[in-house]
Amino acid sequence: MSYLDEHGGHHEEEDEEQGEGEERPKYKPLTQLGAPKIPEGERVDFDDIHRKRMEKDLLELQTLIEVHFEQRKKEEEELIGLKARIESRRAERAEQQRVRAEKERDRQTRIAERQRKEDEEAKKRADDEAKKKKVLSNMGAHFGGFLAKAEQKRGKRQTAREIKKKTLAERRKPLAIESLKEDGLRERAKEMWEWIHQLESEKFDLTEKMKRQKYEINVLLNRIQHAQKFKKGHGKGKVGGRWK
């Protein structure tokens, strides 16, 4: 029995046990070597027969080895390709994660910047309101008496017309036309027209009065601001004809 007869069959059984799912390697067809013929009438050289059988077994072994290494090379190439695809996919996922993280950082930065601006604007509005209240408070504290005196003086300068209007308004009686005839209704309509005309005149006078008061308040506010600037820059100074 040859070496392949003893071990070749064992390899075939192992290949069958590897599983039906694996693709068995395709072996190259072996060179068909026939058994040496024994010449008739001559002496049999068993050494030569043994040598030829050994050569046949060696050739089959070399063929199996070549098929094995070719299959091994193919599997290694497939493994290298698989590793390359895995690395490519890993790099792609890493790049996607980096891009997502960068977008998230940008979004958080924009949110923080918007919140900071809103806080600054709110603080600025609060400071402006506080300054306005302080200015009005100072104006009321320092010039409240002056405004009261000015209003009192303007009240004393009422004209005879204003006094007459006030007197007429106080003496005005409720409207009663149920028992009046045509002449009485005409008279009452005339009185109503005169009363409406009087109200329009009073409205005009009050509007003008409010305009004057607003102008005087603005003038006083400008004087306050000017006095404060002058006091900060030069110490004592002359304001409104008097030394402060």
Condensed to tens digits (0 to 9), the pLDDT of residues 137-194 reads: 665 555 555 555 655 655 555 566 677 677 666 656 566 666 767 777 788 788 878 8
* Same structural domain, 194 and 129: no
* Same structural domain, 80 and 135: yes
Residues 169-177: contacts with CB under 8 Å, at least 24 apart? 169/198
Q: Inform me whether the pLDDT recorded for 96 exceeds 90.
A: yes
The answer to whether residue 35 is domain-embedded is no
The more confident residue out of 202 and 110 is 110
Count of Cβ atoms closer than 10 Å to residue 2 Cβ: 14
Q: Inform me whether the pLDDT recorded for 3 exceeds 50.
A: no
* Same structural domain, 122 and 193: no
* Same structural domain, 6 and 123: yes
How far is residue 203's CA from residue 243's CA, in Å, rounded to a whole number?
Answer: 41
How far is residue 220's CA from residue 139's CA, in Å, rounded to a whole number?
Answer: 8
Confidence of residue 243 (pLDDT cuts 50, 70, 90): very low
The answer to whether residue 57 is domain-embedded is yes
The model's pTM: 0.29
The answer to whether residue 134 is domain-embedded is yes
The answer to whether residue 79 is domain-embedded is yes
* Same structural domain, 8 and 102: yes
User: Which amino acid, residue 82?
Assistant: L
* Same structural domain, 118 and 167: no
Give the torsion sign (CA, 231, 233, 239, 242).
Answer: positive
The answer to whether residue 151 is domain-embedded is no
The CA R_g of the chain, rounded to the nearest whole Å, is 60
The answer to whether residue 80 is domain-embedded is yes
* Same structural domain, 52 and 129: yes
* Same structural domain, 3 and 116: yes
- Match 């690395």 to its residue by tokens: 87
- Domain of residue 213 covers 158-172+185-232
Query: What six digits make up the tokens of 25?
Result: 């390697």
How far is residue 66's CA from residue 29's CA, in Å, rounded to a whole number?
Answer: 12
User: Which amino acid, residue 157?
Assistant: R
Structural domains counted in the chain:
2
